[in-house]
């Protein structure tokens, strides 16, 4: 299981901002396991997304995820 920090103010602000941005997409139900990973020149935000069952995996990959 990945270690997830639960009591971090910076992560709470990030969680709020991510949820705010993603709230316009009705097929995204939730996000969880948010973590910050230090990179050489920046911090990376990594999190899991819960999609609605109404959206198929292939559809998500083609329409919603940018490469």
- Both tokens assigned to 14: 């990030």
Cα 1 → chain centroid: 17
- CA–CA–CA angle 55, 31, 54 (5° rounding): 15
- Residue 48's closest CA among 32, 64, 60? 32
Q: What is the pLDDT confidence band of residue 5, given thresholds at 50, 70 and 90?
A: low
Domain boundary assignment for the chain: 9-64
Percent of the chain scoring above 90 in pLDDT: 46
pLDDT greater at residue 5 or residue 10:
10
Which residues have CB under 8 Å from 67's CB, separation 6+?
none
- Residue 18's closest CA among 49, 51, 43, 40? 49
């Amino acid at each position: 299981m990945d270690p997830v920090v639960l009591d971090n103010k910076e992560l709470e602000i990030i969680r709020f901002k991510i949820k705010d941005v993603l709230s316009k997409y009705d097929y995204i139900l939730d996000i969880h396991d948010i973590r910050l990973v230090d990179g050489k020149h920046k911090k990376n935000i990594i999190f899991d997304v819960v999609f609605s069952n109404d959206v198929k995996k292939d559809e998500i990959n083609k329409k919603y995820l940018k490469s």
